[in-house]
C-alpha cells in the first residue's frame, strides 16, 4: 500500500475511534416534555429524552414524598403506561421496586421514556389537572435518572388547547420553544411548581426583586391594594435576616372554596386560599399572614435549614428533630412580620399569642410529646392524625411558635435589647448557608443562640424542647412588662368529647384524656341517641352546658349496631384560658425589651 494511502487509512481509523470514544464520554443530557391533550381526564403525559448514559441500563425513579410535606405519599401509584423507546424500537423496561423502573438501552445513545400521571388532588403538595387548569409539583410528575439527580435539564410545557399561561419560578430558555424552561438539577425541578391555564398574572417589585403573582380562580379583591400589601410583607420579611437571596420570586395562588394553606419552595410558594378571604378584615389579615409565613420559608427551611432537609433523599423519610424551628419558628416570624408591617397592632398580636398558649396548654398531648419528638415523628403521627392525636401528640407548629416566643424574649432580655432571635437567624444564614453551604445540627443551633445571647441555654433546650416541661411563660413575658392571666375555661362540668353532627347523626369524633367521657367509657364512633332518657337532636355539649360537676348523666348510644346505656358523673372541666396582659407601670428595662420585640409598643 502506498505510504500516503496508509496514512489516510490510519487517519480515518483514528477519527472513527475518537468519534466512538467521544460518544462514550459524551455528557449525559435530559429533556422533558409535559403535555395534557385531554385535561378533563386528569392525565399529564410526560416524555423524557435521555442521552449519553454509558451503562447498559438506566434506572429512573419517581419520588415518594414532596419536600415541605413530611409524609410518604407514594407518587408512583399514579403512573400509567410506562414505556421506553430508542427511535422506533421498543426497549426492555421493568419495574424493580415500588418507584424505580430499569430501562435497558444502547450505550450512550438517546432513548425516550414515556408515561402518564393521573393528577386529581388539588393541594399545595400534590398535582392536579382538569378542564379549568393544571397545577403540578415536580416530585409527583417528573421522574429522574437515579444516577443523574444533579443533571441539568430542559422542560417544555405544551398547554392544553386554549390555555395561554405557564407560570413557574424555573427560568425560561431564551429564544427557544415557547414555554421551555431550564433546571440546573432535579432538586430545582422538584422545587419549582408550575401553574398552567388562563390564570391572571400580576407583578410587583420588592427590594429590587421582581415578584410574580399567578391568580387562579374567581375572587374579589382590590388589585392595587393586594400587591402593595404583599410588597410590604415581603420587604418586612427580608429585614429579619437582612439578606436578599432572590433574583425572582413567584406566588401561585389558588382561590378556591376552602383554602388549605401553603407550601414553600426555593424561589416560589403555592397558597391555597378561600376565595372569600379578601372580603373580610379577619380573612384578609389571615391571607397576609399566610403570605408572610410561606415567604419567610425562603430563608428558614430553604436556606437556613437543619442538615436533614437537603440535599433530599426522595426514596425515604428525611428525619429531623427541628421542625419546631423550621415550621414553628416560621409561624412565629410570620406573625411578627405581619405585626411589624403594621397590619396587626401589638394588642392584636398579644391576643393571638394568648389564644396560641390556650390551645397548646389545653391539649393533653403537650404533656406526652416534646417538640423535638413531634418533629421527628411528623412522618408517622403529624401527617397521619387520628381520633386520639390530641391526647398523645402536639403540633410542632404550635409548640414551636411558643418556644421561639420565649426564646426570643430571653435573648432580648439577656442582651438588654441589643440582640434578638433575628440575629440568630442572620448568624445561621451567614455561617451555614453562605460560608459552609450546608445545614446545621441541633447542637450548632444551640451554639448559635449562645453566640448571639452571650450565654448558653442548655437547661431550656433539655427540658422545654427535648422534654415536655411547660414553658416558663410568666418569666419570659415579664421581661417585656407583660403578665399571663389564667382562669378556668368553664366552672361547670364538661362531657370531655367532641361530637360531630354530620349526616344528621351525633357521632363521637374524639374523647379527651381523663375527662368525663373518657372515664365513663364513651367511645369514638358511638352514635349518641339520648341524654337522660330524652332524644337528642343536637350536640350533647350544648345540653350539658351549665350542669354542675358531679351530676350523673345517662347516655344511650348505638355502638356497632347495638344499643348501650352509659352512666357516669360529669367531671369538672380542666381547661383553662390564658390571657397576656400589660403591667400598668413597666420598668425602663421592660419597655426596652417590649419595644425591641414588637417594634412598636402601643
Domain regions of the chain by residue span: 29-198, 199-298, 306-474+589-602, 493-572
Is the link from the previous residue into 311 a cis peptide, with omega within 30 of 0? yes
The DSSP H or E segment spanning 423 is helix 421-428
Rounded to a whole number of angstroms, the distance between the first and last alpha carbons of the chain is 101
- In the predicted model, is pLDDT for residue 39 greater than 60? yes
- In the predicted model, is pLDDT for residue 10 greater than 50? no
From the candidate CATH numbers 3.40.50.2000, 2.30.42.10, 2.40.50.140, 3.90.280.10, the one assigned to the domain spanning 493-572: 2.30.42.10
List the alpha helices (DSSP H) in 429-554. 442-453, 458-460, 473-478, 516-520, 540-543
Give the model's confidence band at 11: pLDDT under 50 very low, under 70 low, under 90 confident, else very high: very low
Q: Tell me, what's the pLDDT at 12?
A: 52
Mean pLDDT of the chain: 95
CATH code that applies to domain 199-298: 1.10.390.10
Its sign, for the CA torsion 435, 440, 441, 446, is positive
Torsion, Cα 254 255 257 263, to 10 degrees, reads: 40
Query: For 452-467, what is each residue's pLDDT tens digit?
Result: 999 999 999 999 999 9
Q: Tell me, what's the pLDDT at 16?
A: 52
**Region 74-97 average pLDDT:** 98
Q: Tell me, what's the pLDDT at 166?
A: 98
Q: Tell me, what's the pLDDT at 574?
A: 87
- Range with the lowest mean pLDDT among 24-33, 147-156, 530-539? 24-33
Query: For 263-281, what is each residue's pLDDT tens digit?
Result: 999 999 999 999 999 999 9
Query: For 129-162, what is each residue's pLDDT tens digit?
Result: 999 999 999 999 999 999 999 999 999 999 999 9
Q: What percent of the chain has pLDDT over 70?
A: 95
Residues 6+ apart with CB under 8 A from 526: 507, 508, 557, 558, 559, 564
Distance CA 499, CA 506 (A): 6
Please indicate whether the domains covering 199-298 and 306-474+589-602 agree at the CATH topology level: yes
CATH code that applies to domain 306-474+589-602: 1.10.390.10
Give the model's confidence band at 5: pLDDT under 50 very low, under 70 low, under 90 confident, else very high: low
The 8-class DSSP code of residue 304 comes to B
Q: Answer for the pair 59, 182: CB distance below 8 angstroms, yes or no.
A: no
Query: For 471-514, what is each residue's pLDDT tens digit?
Result: 999 999 999 999 999 999 888 899 999 999 999 999 999 999 99
Q: 476: closest CA among 500, 462, 454, 457? A: 457
**Region 589-598 average pLDDT:** 97
**Region 84-104 average pLDDT:** 98
Q: Which residue has the higher pLDDT, 360 or 4?
A: 360
CATH code that applies to domain 29-198: 2.60.40.3650
- In the predicted model, is pLDDT for residue 18 greater than 90? no
Query: For 405-459, what is each residue's pLDDT tens digit?
Result: 999 999 999 999 999 999 999 999 999 999 999 999 999 999 999 999 999 999 9
Number of H helices, E strands in the chain: 17, 31
Q: Tell me, what's the pLDDT at 602?
A: 35
Q: Answer for the pair 190, 63: CB distance below 8 angstroms, yes or no.
A: yes
- In the predicted model, is pLDDT for residue 225 greater than 60? yes
Q: Tell me, what's the pLDDT at 229?
A: 98
pTM: 0.93
Q: Which residue has the higher pLDDT, 573 or 51?
A: 51
Q: Tell me, what's the pLDDT at 491?
A: 81
Torsion, Cα 162 164 170 176, to 10 degrees, reads: 90
Q: Tell me, what's the pLDDT at 176?
A: 75
Distance CA 19, CA 166 (A): 40
Give the model's confidence band at 357: pLDDT under 50 very low, under 70 low, under 90 confident, else very high: very high
Residue 376: count of CB within 10 angstroms of its CB: 22
Q: Which residue has the higher pLDDT, 327 or 16?
A: 327
Cβ density class 215-239: b for 16+ within 10 Å, e for less: bbbebebeeeebbebbbbbbbbbbe
Amino acid at each position: 500500500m502506498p505510504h500516503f494511502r496508509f496514512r489516510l487509512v490510519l487517519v480515518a481509523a483514528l477519527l472513527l475511534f475518537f468519534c466512538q470514544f467521544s460518544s462514550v464520554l459524551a455528557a449525559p443530557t435530559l429533556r422533558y416534555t409535559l403535555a395534557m391533550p385531554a385535561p378533563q381526564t386528569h392525565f399529564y403525559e410526560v416524555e423524557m429524552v435521555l442521552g449519553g448514559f454509558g451503562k447498559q441500563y438506566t434506572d429512573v425513579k419517581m419520588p415518594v414524598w414532596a419536600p415541605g410535606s413530611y409524609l410518604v405519599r407514594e407518587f408512583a401509584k399514579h403512573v400509567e403506561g410506562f414505556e421506553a423507546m430508542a427511535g422506533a424500537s421498543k426497549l426492555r423496561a421493568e419495574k424493580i421496586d415500588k418507584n424505580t423502573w430499569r430501562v435497558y438501552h444502547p450505550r450512550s445513545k438517546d432513548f425516550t421514556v414515556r408515561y402518564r400521571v393521573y393528577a386529581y388532588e388539588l393541594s399545595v403538595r400534590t398535582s392536579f389537572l382538569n378542564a379549568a387548569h393544571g397545577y403540578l409539583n415536580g416530585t409527583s410528575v417528573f421522574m429522574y435518572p437515579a444516577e443523574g439527580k444533579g443533571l441539568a435539564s430542559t422542560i417544555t410545557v405544551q398547554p392544553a388547547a386554549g390555555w395561554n399561561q405557564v407560570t413557574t419560578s424555573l427560568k425560561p430558555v431564551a429564544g427557544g420553544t415557547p414555554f421551555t424552561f431550564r433546571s440546573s438539577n432535579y432538586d430545582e425541578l422538584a422545587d419549582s411548581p408550575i401553574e398552567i391555564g388562563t390564570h391572571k398574572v400580576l407583578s410587583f417589585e420588592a427590594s429590587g426583586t421582581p415578584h410574580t403573582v399567578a391568580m387562579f380562580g374567581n375572587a374579589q379583591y382590590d388589585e392595587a391594594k393586594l400587591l402593595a400589601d404583599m410588597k410590604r410583607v415581603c420587604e418586612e420579611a427580608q429585614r429579619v435576616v437582612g439578606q436578599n437571596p432572590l433574583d425572582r420570586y413567584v406566588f401561585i395562588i389558588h382561590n378556591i372554596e376552602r383554602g388549605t394553606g401553603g407550601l414553600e419552595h426555593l424561589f416560589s410558594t403555592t397558597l391555597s386560599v378561600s376565595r372569600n378571604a379578601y372580603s373580610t378584615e379577619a380573612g384578609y389579615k389571615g391571607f397576609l399572614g399566610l403570605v408572610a409565613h410561606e415567604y419567610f420559608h425562603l430563608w428558614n427551611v430553604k436556606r437556613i435549614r437543619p442538615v436533614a432537609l437537603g440535599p433530599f433523599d426522595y426514596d425515604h423519610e428525611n428525619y429531623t428533630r427541628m421542625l419546631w424551628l423550621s415550621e414553628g419558628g416560621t409561624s412565629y416570624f410570620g406573625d411578627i412580620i405581619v405585626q411589624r408591617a403594621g397590619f396587626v397592632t401589638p394588642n392584636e398580636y398579644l391576643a393571638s399569642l394568648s389564644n396560641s398558649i390556650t390551645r397548646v396548654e389545653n391539649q393533653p398531648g403537650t404533656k406526652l410529646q416534646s417538640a423535638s419528638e413531634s418533629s421527628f415523628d411528623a412522618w408517622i403521627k403529624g401527617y397521619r392524625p387520628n381520633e386520639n392525636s390530641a391526647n398523645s401528640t402536639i403540633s410542632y407548629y404550635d409548640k414551636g411558635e411558643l418556644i421561639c416566643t420565649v426564646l426570643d424574649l430571653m435573648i432580648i432580655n439577656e442582651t438588654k435589647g441589643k440582640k434578638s432571635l433575628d440575629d440568630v437567624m442572620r448568624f445561621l444564614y451567614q455561617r451555614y448557608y453562605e460560608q459552609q453551604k450546608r445545614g446545621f445540627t441541633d447542637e450548632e443551633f444551640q451554639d448559635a443562640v449562645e453566640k448571639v445571647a452571650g450565654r448558653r441555654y442548655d437547661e431550656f433546650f433539655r427540658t422545654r424542647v427535648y422534654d415536655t416541661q411547660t414553658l416558663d411563660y410568666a418569666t419570659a413575658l415579664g421581661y417585656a412588662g407583660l403578665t399571663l392571666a389564667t382562669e378556668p375555661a368553664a366552672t361547670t362540668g364538661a362531657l370531655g368529647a367532641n361530637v360531630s353532627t354530620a349526616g344528621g347523626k351525633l357521632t363521637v369524633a374524639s374523647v379527651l384524656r381523663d375527662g368525663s367521657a373518657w372515664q365513663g367509657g364513651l367511645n369514638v364512633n358511638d352514635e349518641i341517641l339520648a341524654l337522660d332518657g330524652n332524644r337528642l337532636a343536637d350536640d350533647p355539649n350544648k345540653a350539658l352546658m351549665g350542669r354542675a360537676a358531679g351530676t350523673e348523666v345517662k347516655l344511650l348510644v348505638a355502638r356497632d349496631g347495638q344499643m348501650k346505656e352509659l352512666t357516669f358523673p360529669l367531671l369538672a372541666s380542666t381547661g383553662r384560658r390564658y390571657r397576656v396582659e400589660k403591667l400598668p407601670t413597666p420598668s425602663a428595662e421592660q419597655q426596652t425589651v417590649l419595644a425591641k420585640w414588637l417594634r412598636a409598643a402601643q
